[in-house]
Amino acid sequence: MTERKNVEQKTFIMIKPDAVARGLIAPIVQRFENTGLTIERLELGTVTPEQAAENYAEHEGKPFYPGLIEYITSGPVVKMVLSGPEAVMVCRKLMGATNPRDAAPGTIRGDFGLVVDANVVHGSDSPESALREIEIFFGD
């Protein structure tokens, strides 16, 4: 049996405008805290159109892209950097499937998500994406 190493990682999490508007910041942050990961940064703010375009560049030209940019810039968000062993994987499991209808109960999207277009939370999908997204939203 191969022993799995717990690799220290950073990840980027964003509580999206729909969740902020619904008053879900505290329960969502609590779930991330409960994982044992360290919240290194947490900031309430807005996403600029430039940040949105850079973050979602791979979707440019797709039919949903204009709506995605409009949505993510439509109101306040909470931006976070979390760190710890396997942080990306831990957060992805906690968030649940992208479509809230497919997300398991007990996950953030499964419990709080309503529709795929406003699915409560964004999280980096790889350590490389995390570094890129942290740079986009925090500039470090």
Mind telling me the catalytic residues? 122
CA–CA–CA angle 100, 123, 103 (5° rounding): 20
Q: Coil, strand, or helix at residue 94?
A: helix
Question: In angstroms, rounded to a whole number, what is the distance separating the alpha carbons of residues 79 and 102?
Answer: 24
